[in-house]
Amino acid sequence: MCGASSIVEAFARRLEDGDFVGAILDYYTPDAATHENLAAPVVGRDKLADKERRVLAAFKEVTAVRIGPSLIDGDIVASRWKFSFTNAEGVTRTLEEIAWQTWRGNEIIEERFFYDPKQLGR
């Protein structure tokens, strides 16, 4: 991955700025796949962007904060995130997760999210 640290930092800033769909469109390969825990993957940048739009439409506000630095080893990047989801009634649920990414050049080809789904029930 060329300029790994600067590319990863730019991607993280997009998420922290709330540009979730834009980050997908700009940083994922057309054939990228994401996996939520052990669920079947969602494959294809357009499908990933559509899924993200649906998530964002379901909430009044969604925020992301990276906890600590991203760890980079060649084409593998691991980041710890805290996402907050606020619904129309103003109730906020938080989710901490690890995002494990495989990059191809300056784009993500695969991403796996590891988290405890019980967090969203609190």
Q: Over 70: is that where the pLDDT of 3 sits?
A: no
The pLDDT score that the predictor gives to residue 56 is 97
The pLDDT score that the predictor gives to residue 110 is 98
CA distance 69 to 54: 29
What is the pTM (predicted TM-score) of this model?
0.92
Backbone angles phi, psi at 39, to 5 degrees: -70, 160
28-68 pLDDT tens trace: 999 999 999 989 999 999 999 999 999 999 999 999 999 99
The pLDDT score that the predictor gives to residue 4 is 75
Q: Is 102 helix (H, G, I), strand (E, B) or coil?
A: strand
Model confidence at 122, pLDDT cuts 50, 70, 90, reads low
Average pLDDT of the residues in 87-116: 96
Closest CA to 113 of 39, 40, 38, 37: 37
